[in-house]
């Protein structure tokens, strides 16, 4: 690998180097290193070919100072290398936030929302969340969108909520992708759009969200926004059920009862419905009772044996 050679600034850019020295305020060591490194890289790439050196150096130095304050605030917030101190954390975050650091703006909004180190203030929380969201902070976009959707603490604004969710989702935030999928699937707050629901749920699933697999199973089973494919639906149900999702366990049990994408197997159905019931899905109990009346004595005996084995395994795992 070719080493990165720092340019000889005093010789190659004497005027810019002089401006850099005069423009830098008094920083701590870490801020100074960040500012110098950013400036060196900018010079080496020719960023300042047409811009005022003083202006650009001050901008870089300001960003470095803001990042340093953000890091200090995070240390105070988490008690990393120092005593935990919410008041000092807010002080540091505010300094960084006022210089445009969107991560500091997000943290400041969160602290005002939770009342950490300060009196809880929803208006201040929203103010800083919105600044951070406008600066590209995904967590701020997420937090602000949830507040706007619920309308519990600030006026409800679904349009703005969807705006921030979409930006976060397009930048890869899986929770935002899942939420957009839900909104489009149910259509209770925006116009129902199964195609968009399938699109966002697929992205969320690809990003590792297992709960979205149950929705994809439903959509493939019913042909909602996608071409109907019962086999694929059952595969989604199974993958989601194996992750612990109670509704997916119920849907997989139902699939085994009626042969949706799988061969009918009432013993397997009973096993998944039992799992679903104990995972909290209320509808599973009724379907289990209906299934018991259809099963032969041998099937019910085998299903009961399987369930008892599952109980034993669960108890062994807990002990």
Which CATH superfamily does the domain covering 146-208 fall into?
Tetratricopeptide repeat domain (1.25.40.10)
Asked whether residue 253 carries a pLDDT value surpassing 90, the answer given is yes
Question: Could you tell me which residue, 13 or 69, shows the higher pLDDT?
Answer: 69
- Of 2-16, 200-214, 232-246, 300-314, the one with minimum mean pLDDT is 2-16
Sorting pLDDT into bands at 50, 70 and 90, what band is 313?
low
pLDDT in the model for residue 55? 72
Q: What is the mean pLDDT of the chain?
A: 87
Distance of CA 147 to the CA centre of its chain: 15
Give the whole-angstrom CA distance, residue 296 versus residue 114.
57
pLDDT tens-digit map of 22-43: 444 444 445 445 555 555 544 5
Top pLDDT among 113 and 36 is at 113
Domain 65-135 matches domain 146-208 at the CATH topology level: yes
Segment 110-123 shows an average pLDDT of 96
Pick one of 3.30.1300.10, 1.25.40.10, 3.30.750.200, 3.30.310.80 as the CATH number of 65-135: 1.25.40.10
Domain residue ranges of the chain, discontinuous segments joined by +: 65-135, 146-208, 242-319
Res. 316: pLDDT tops 90: no
Distances (CA, A) of 161 to 113, 142, 185, 255: 18, 9, 16, 36
């Amino acid at each position: 690998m070719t080493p990165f050679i720092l340019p000889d600034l005093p010789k190659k850019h004497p005027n810019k180097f002089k401006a850099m020295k005069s423009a830098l305020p008094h920083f701590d060591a870490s801020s100074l290193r960040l500012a110098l490194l950013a400036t060196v890289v900018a010079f080496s790439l020719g960023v300042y070919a047409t811009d005022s050196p003083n202006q650009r150096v001050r901008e870089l130095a300001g960003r470095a100072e803001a990042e340093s304050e953000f890091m200090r605030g995070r240390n105070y917030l988490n008690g990393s290398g120092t005593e935990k101190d919410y008041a000092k954390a807010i002080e540091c975050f505010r300094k960084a936030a006022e210089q445009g650091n969107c991560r500091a703006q997000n943290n400041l909004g969160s602290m005002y929302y939770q009342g950490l180190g300060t009196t809880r203030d929803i208006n201040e929380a929203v103010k800083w969340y919105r600044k951070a969201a406008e600066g590209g902070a995904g967590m701020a976009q997420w937090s602000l969108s949830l507040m706007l959707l619920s309308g519990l603490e600030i006026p409800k604004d679904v349009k703005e909520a969807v705006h921030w969710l979409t930006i976060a989702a397009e930048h890869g935030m899986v929770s935002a992708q899942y939420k957009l999928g839900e909104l489009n699937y149910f259509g209770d707050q925006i116009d129902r759009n199964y195609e968009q629901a399938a699109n966002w749920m697929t992205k969320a699933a690809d990003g590792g969200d297992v709960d979205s697999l149950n929705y994809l199973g439903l959509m493939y089973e019913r042909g909602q926004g996608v071409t109907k494919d019962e086999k694929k639906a059952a595969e989604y149900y199974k993958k989601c059920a194996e992750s612990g999702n109670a509704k997916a366990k119920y849907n997989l049990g139902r699939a085994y009862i009626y042969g949706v994408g799988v061969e009918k197997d009432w013993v397997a159905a009973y096993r998944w419905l039992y799992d679903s019931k104990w995972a909290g899905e209320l509808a599973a109990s009724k379907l289990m009772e209906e299934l018991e009346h259809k099963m032969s004595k041998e099937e019910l005996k085998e299903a009961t044996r399987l369930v008892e084995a599952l109980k034993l395994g669960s108890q062994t795992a807990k002990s």
